[in-house]
């Protein structure tokens, strides 16, 4: 028999054990559910949208500032319509891959709120 002075301690211990089992059961159910797979697919879809190439034509190259002007189609991943505008490039070496008038495929993203070409391919 447990002395009365320990009743509160025993009660707290039982509550702790029940909470631990409830948490473990919840985590096991979550791990076995289709939710992680759905989350992985959604993450891949978002990554795929960011990697979607847009098309454009190089209008101007400024190697000193690391920028290029591109006349481009819609940029779905940043929600932008077709237009001509100036982009920064992730790596200034990208500017050596193209010349004015080249048709290109590219990915533009907005790190730090500035539109930046992160991938660039000259069309064949």
Same domain, residue pair 81 and 106: yes
Same domain, residue pair 43 and 59: no
Same domain, residue pair 41 and 63: no
Same domain, residue pair 65 and 31: no
Range of 23's domain?
4-48
CA distance 87 to 114: 8
Summarize pLDDT for 88-124 with one digit per residue, the tens.
999 999 999 999 999 999 999 998 889 999 999 999 8
| Helix residue spans in 33-78 (DSSP H) | 35-51
CA distance 64 to 72: 22
Pairing of strands 67-72, 116-122: unpaired
Segment holding 120, helix H or strand E: strand 116-122
**β-sheet bridge partners, residue 103:** 57
Same domain, residue pair 41 and 76: no
Q: What is the per-residue pLDDT for 17? A: 72
**β-sheet bridge partners, residue 62:** 67
Same domain, residue pair 15 and 73: no
Q: How many domains does the chain have?
A: 2
Mean pLDDT of 36-44: 55
Summarize pLDDT for 42-97 with one digit per residue, the tens.
555 444 544 689 999 999 999 999 999 999 999 988 889 999 999 999 999 999 99
């Amino acid at each position: 028999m447990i002395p009365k002075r320990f009743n509160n301690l025993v009660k707290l211990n039982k509550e702790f054990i029940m909470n631990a089992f409830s948490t473990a059961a919840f985590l096991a159910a979550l791990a076995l559910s289709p939710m992680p797979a759905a989350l992985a697919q959604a993450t891949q879809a978002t990554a795929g949208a960011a990697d979607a190439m847009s098309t454009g034509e190089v209008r101007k190259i400024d190697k000193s500032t690391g920028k290029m002007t591109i006349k481009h189609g819609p940029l779905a991943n940043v929600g932008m319509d077709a237009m001509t505008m100036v982009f920064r490039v992730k790596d200034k070496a990208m500017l050596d891959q193209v010349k004015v008038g080249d048709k290109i495929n590219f990915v533009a993203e907005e790190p730090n709120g500035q539109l930046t070409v992160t991938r660039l391919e000259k069309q064949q």
